[in-house]
Amino acid sequence: SSQQFSALTELLFRFLTEPKEVERFLTQLSDFATMNKISLGPLKNIVKSILLVPNGALKRNLSSEQVRADFIALGLSEEKASYFAEQWKVNSPTLTRLAVGQTLMINQLIDMEWKFGVTAGSSELEKVGSIFLQLKLVIKKGTQMENVYIELTLPQFYSFLHEMERVKTSLESFS
Amino acid sequence: WPRLSASHFASRQAPSRDAVRQLCQQCFSSPPAGLAALAQRVCPSLAAGPEEAEQLVFALHNLTRHVVYRGLTKAEDVLSLFPENFHQNLKNLLTKIILENISAWRNEAQASQISLPRLVDMDWRVDIKTSSDSISRMAVPTCLLQLKIQEDVALCGNSPVVSALTVELSKETLDTMLEGLGRIRDQLSAVANK
Q: Can you give the pLDDT of all 175 residues of chain A as single tens digits?
A: 778 888 888 888 888 888 888 888 888 888 888 888 888 888 888 888 888 888 888 888 888 888 888 888 877 888 888 888 888 888 888 888 888 888 889 999 999 999 887 765 444 433 445 678 989 999 999 888 888 889 898 899 999 999 999 999 999 998 7
3-class secondary-structure state, position B16: coil
Neighbours of B180 (CB within 10 A): 15
Is residue A40 within 8 Å of residue A30, measured between CB atoms?
yes
Looking at CA atoms only, how far is residue A125 from chain B in angstroms?
7
Q: What is the pLDDT of residue B40?
A: 87
The residue among A16, A123, A156 with the most chain B CBs within 10 A of its CB, best to mutate, is A123
Residues B109, A121: C-beta atoms closer than 8 Å: yes
More confident residue, B111 or B184: B184
Q: What is the pLDDT of residue B154?
A: 57
Q: What is the pLDDT of residue B153?
A: 60
Q: What is the pLDDT of residue A109?
A: 95
- Is the ipTM value over 0.90, yes or no? no
Q: What is the pLDDT of residue A167?
A: 95
Q: What is the pLDDT of residue B171?
A: 93
3-class secondary-structure state, position B119: strand
Q: Shortest CB distance from B129 goes to which of A103, A156, A168? A: A103
Q: What is the pLDDT of residue B124?
A: 96
Q: What Rg do the C-alpha atoms of chain B give, in angstroms?
A: 26
Domain ranges for chain A: 2-104, 114-174
Helices (H), chain A: 2-17, 22-35, 40-59, 64-73, 78-101, 154-174
Task: Please name the residue of chain A whose CA is at the shortest distance from the CA of residue B107.
Answer: A121
Using pLDDT thresholds of 50, 70 and 90, give the confidence band for residue B192: confident
Contact residues, chain A, for B33 at CB < 8 Å: 126
- CB-based contact, B190 to chain A, within 8 Å: no
Q: Shortest CB distance from A59 goes to which of B108, B135, B177? A: B135
pLDDT digits (tens, 9 = 90+) for A124-159: 433 445 678 989 999 999 888 888 889 898 899 999
Residues A126, B117: C-beta atoms closer than 8 Å: no
Q: Tell me how far apart the alpha carbons of residues B64 and B106 are, in angstroms, rounded to a whole number.
A: 10
Q: Shortest CB distance from B167 goes to which of A121, A137, A174? A: A137
Mean pLDDT of B71-92: 83
pLDDT digits (tens, 9 = 90+) for B14-48: 567 888 888 899 888 887 778 888 888 888 877 77
Residue B75 has pLDDT above 90, yes or no: no
Mean pLDDT of B67-84: 82
- Please write down the HEC assignment for all residues of A125-161: HHHCCEEEEEEEEEEEECCEEEEEEEEEEHHHHHHHH
Looking at CA atoms only, how far is residue A169 from chain B in angstroms?
10
Task: Please name the residue of chain B whose CA is at the shortest distance from the CA of residue A96.
Answer: B135
Report the percent of chain B where pLDDT is more than 90.
Answer: 25
Could you tell me which of B20, B72, B12 has the C-alpha nearest to residue B48? B12
Q: Tell me how far apart the alpha carbons of residues B2 and B62 are, in angstroms, rounded to a whole number.
A: 6
Task: Please name the residue of chain B whose CA is at the shortest distance from the CA of residue A118.
Answer: B112
Q: What is the pLDDT of residue B4?
A: 52
More confident residue, B122 or B82: B122
Least confident of A83-92, A128-137, B87-96, B127-136: A128-137
